[in-house]
């Protein structure tokens, strides 16, 4: 692999993903099945998962481009989860556009998501070397099962006021981190990595994935609104049990009465109205919740970096290292 900068390599891989995805989903009939797929898959996005798969393939000494289709398979799975999650969350907007169940209808959203699962497996089969096909398929299966478990836990948590941090991390591990783990795993398998190498890649993706989510929770209320591109405090409005809320609830009994009342209102009303956001920001700031979140993200990112140590010292590894740093440093 040539010594590209991180940005150059990311852009080159991302471009390969866009080109392949466009060719992959033509415009066949029935339209009600395939139009929502094209709408979802060809709407841009950062393509984090396929790029991670390709970098992981590089990192174990393979040729990143060999993991293109395995990575795209994971991207397709990720997009299937978005379509189905948006139905369950009754979300009207995603990436500044109407969600599939709103633009078409719920049946089209269910069906196109279902079809995308099969298309993901079919895309995986385009990989240039299928010697380790059984491992690849098993990784895909387990990835999907875990992401379904994560979403089920997330839904169960919405009805439960006593979620603690271990439960939160378990849910996030399944719901968010597992698809990143799947990405590096298929990349590592395609690159013919050893068991130890693939385990290291998974640990890297798991910790970086959880860091990503905690960062997301933090940015949702701490970011500059103009950069975030959406309302500040959306999670608070929706009553989501984020890292910040759970961390604040841990200290509930030692908080001043007005802060306790604010948290109790959040729980009983399953969210707060917009005028309470500044008070909640204040609560988080004054009680070290923001600081805990930042410390957690930094700790997890260090763990992600450390996990890479067992891999050969090559450009792929360096780029994975930079990738985790980039996630840590993002401001929106």
Residue 40 makes CB contacts below 8 A (sequence gap 6+) with: 79, 82, 83, 100, 112, 116
Near a second copy by CB under 8 A: residue from 15, 22, 141, 194: 141
DSSP 67: G
Near a second copy by CB under 8 A: residue from 138, 164, 264, 298: 138
Least Å from the CB of residue 137 to a second copy: 6
Near a second copy by CB under 8 A: residue from 107, 161, 194, 231: 107
The answer to the question of residue 162 lying near a second copy (CB under 8 A) is no
Least Å from the CB of residue 115 to a second copy: 4
State residue 317 phi and psi, 5-degree precision.
-60, -45
The answer to the question of residue 186 lying near a second copy (CB under 8 A) is no
Name which of residues 72 to 101 contact a second copy (CB under 8 A). Answer: 80, 84, 87-88
Least Å from the CB of residue 272 to a second copy: 24
Q: Which is nearer to a second copy, 151 or 301 (CB)?
A: 151
- Please identify, among the stretches 41-49, 151-159, 207-215, 322-330, the one whose residues bind a second copy according to the rule CB under 8 A: 151-159
Binding mask 114-133 for a second copy (x = CB under 8 A): xx-xxx-xx--x----x--x
Least Å from the CB of residue 120 to a second copy: 9
Near a second copy by CB under 8 A: residue from 137, 228, 267, 277: 137
d(CA 172, CA 206) in angstroms, rounded, equals 10
d(CA 320, CA 64) in angstroms, rounded, equals 12
The answer to the question of residue 156 lying near a second copy (CB under 8 A) is yes
Least Å from the CB of residue 182 to a second copy: 11
Go through 110-143 and write b for each residue having 16 or more CB atoms within 10 A of its CB, e for each that does not. Answer: ebbbebbbebbbebbeebeeeebeebbeebbeeb
Question: Which spans in 45-105 are helix H?
Answer: 48-59, 68-88, 100-103
Tell me the DSSP string of 105-172.
-HHHHHHHHHHHHHHHHHHHTTSS--TTHHHHHHHHHHHHHHHHHHHHHHHHHHT-S---HHHHHHHH
Name which of residues 26 to 45 contact a second copy (CB under 8 A). Answer: 29-30, 32-33
Q: Which is nearer to a second copy, 146 or 259 (CB)?
A: 146
Q: Distances in Å between the alpha carbon of 297 and those of 18, 126, 201? A: 30, 36, 18
Tell me the DSSP string of 235-249.
HHHHT---HHHHHHH
Near a second copy by CB under 8 A: residue from 153, 180, 222, 304: 153
Q: What is the dihedral of CA 324, 328, 329, 331, to 10 degrees?
A: 130
Least Å from the CB of residue 64 to a second copy: 23
d(CA 236, CA 282) in angstroms, rounded, equals 13
Least Å from the CB of residue 161 to a second copy: 17
If binding means CB under 8 A, how many residues of this protein chain bind a second copy? 41
Least Å from the CB of residue 175 to a second copy: 12
Question: Which spans in 191-288 are helix H?
Answer: 195-222, 225-228, 234-238, 243-250, 257-269, 277-286
Q: Which is nearer to a second copy, 8 or 162 (CB)?
A: 162
Least Å from the CB of residue 215 to a second copy: 25
Residues lying near a second copy in the complex (CB under 8 A)? 29-30, 32-33, 80, 84, 87-88, 106-108, 110-115, 117-119, 121-122, 125, 130, 133-134, 137-138, 140-145, 148-149, 151-153, 155-156
């Amino acid at each position: 692999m040539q010594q590209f900068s991180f940005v150059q390599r990311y852009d080159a891989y991302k471009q390969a993903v866009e080109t392949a995805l466009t060719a992959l989903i033509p415009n066949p009939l029935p339209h009600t099945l395939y139009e929502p797929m094209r709408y979802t898959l060809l709407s841009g996005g950062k393509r984090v998962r396929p790029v991670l798969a390709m970098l992981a393939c590089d990192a174990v000494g393979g040729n990143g481009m060999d993991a293109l289709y395995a990575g795209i398979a994971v991207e397709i799975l990720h997009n299937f989860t978005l379509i189905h999650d948006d139905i369950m969350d009754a979300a009207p907007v995603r990436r500044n556009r109407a969600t599939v169940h709103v633009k078409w209808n719920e049946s089209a959203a269910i069906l196109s998501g279902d079809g995308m699962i099969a298309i993901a497996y079919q895309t995986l089969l385009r990989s240039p070397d299928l010697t380790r096909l059984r491992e690849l398929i098993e990784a895909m299966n387990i990835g999907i099962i875990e992401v379904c478990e994560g979403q089920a836990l997330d839904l169960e948590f919405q009805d439960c006021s006593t979620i603690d941090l271990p439960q939160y991390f378990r849910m996030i591990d399944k719901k968010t981190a597992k698809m990143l783990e799947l990405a590096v795993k298929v990349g590592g398998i395609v690159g013919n990595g050893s068991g130890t190498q693939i385990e290291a890649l998974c640990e890297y993706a798991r910790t970086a994935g959880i860091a990503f989510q905690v960062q997301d929770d933090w940015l949702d209320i701490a970011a500059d609104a103009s950069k975030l591109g959406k309302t500040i405090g959306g999670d608070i409005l929706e009553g989501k049990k984020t890292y910040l809320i759970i961390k604040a609830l841990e200290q509930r009994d030692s908080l001043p009465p007005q802060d306790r009342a604010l948290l109790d209102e959040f729980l009983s009303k399953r969210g707060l109205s917009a005028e309470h956001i500044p008070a909640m920001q204040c609560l988080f700031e004054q009680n070290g919740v923001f600081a805990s979140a930042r410390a957690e993200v930094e700790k997890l990112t260090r763990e992600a970096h450390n996990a890479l140590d067992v891999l050969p010292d090559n450009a792929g590894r360096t780029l994975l290292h930079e990738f985790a740093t980039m996630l840590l440093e993002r401001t929106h």
